[in-house]
Homo-oligomer: A and B are copies of this chain.
């Protein structure tokens, strides 16, 4: 690169740069792209899977494993359709749509500035008047399907638009089989589906997406206090895993933007390259859901203690895995010039990094070095995600690992053969320390915490 190019290189993350890195380095691919794709749907490649898995593991660790008041659940994606009648989704989970009588396309009535008639395209963006539009109609966002051999109203079913309802309908199963009492939570990770009309912005809004939701059941008088507690806990989780304080803010919903079930909601917003957007919502759902299912099913969903009986309120922190992953990627993305050479680096928290350590023989054709390197690599991969790489110049191999966010690289060189030490390179500081090869595994285990 010429020097003026190098100066331009060091820039902030954009959605395009992050998407390009993700495609090039095997994090994310457009779904079914050899068949022209499918709108707003993505497949995750090797490093994307490992990164998503780490995000989920950290959520599980913080929300379930390190607490004794939260249990796990994994409910089906296709539930009995009555669940969605009772929850209000069949009636109200919809966007207002208008049809164009000329081109037959549909648009969101609340986003007409994005509309453009397919047969008489406007020369000026935003001039949707050339479309011949119908009145808005409500369009339900749930995907429908049919269960069983018959296809009629009785066999209709829905792909869940949220995992939360699977938790509410299991309230009695959980309280009768587990040693729990309010305040306690039920946590679930799983796919949800929303048939959105105008999704977009890379991973930000997808038609199928994995959610991490936890419903925390509390005595009603304590609900506001627990609401504040969970907003604070979830905010800390994002910070602890490396998001910048200046890129996070908390915004309470105005009364008119609250969902039909919510008494109060605060969004934890992240400053994505496209602007401030919801990263996680923390809602006080009151007793809405348990009461709805009690009424619709005839099964009383309430807490029965020794001397008390009540319908708990529910505090719900809910986040999409991929929206979380996208925030971590954007925050970690960095470009810098080191020794007059550009490097792109993902400064991911080590616990989130897809690969923890790369093992590199300095000279890829040196039998003694490669043997020692293979042996160390095979030891390390039993405990953590590791890579072995003996192809290309060492600088190029370091850059490869920087781009996928690998926090540490171990290099085996001539001195290793002589005295059993290796260099440990730090992704962020580029510092290299010399340590004994026998101590590498324990050192990394300790640093990972």
Contact = CB atoms under 8 A, between A and B. Distances in A.
Interface of A: 23-26, 29, 31-39, 41-46, 48-50, 52, 65-66, 68, 71-80, 82-83, 97, 104, 106, 139, 143-150, 157, 159, 166, 169-170, 172-174, 177-179, 191, 193, 195, 197, 207-208, 293, 296-299, 301, 377, 381-382, 385, 387-389, 391
Please give the count of copies of this chain that the complex contains. Answer: 2
Contacts of A296: 35
Contacts of A191: 77, 191
A71 to B, nearest CB: 4
A31 to B, nearest CB: 5
A262 to B, nearest CB: 23
Contacts of A80: 31-32, 35-38
A83 B38 CA distance: 11
A35 B74 contact: no
* CB-based closest 5 A-B pairs: A32-B80, A26-B177, A49-B72, A46-B71, A106-B149
Given A33-B173, A72-B46, A178-B46, A148 B82 contact: no
A79 B32 contact: yes
A400 to B, nearest CB: 9
Nearest to A52: B74
Contacts of A66: 381-382
Contacts of A143: 145-147
A174 B35 contact: no
Contact of A172 (B34, B49, B83, B173): B34
Contacts of A76: 31-32, 38, 41-43, 208
A23 B173 CA distance: 9
A82 B43 CA distance: 16
Contact of A150 (B45, B106, B169, B377): B106
Contacts of A387: 68
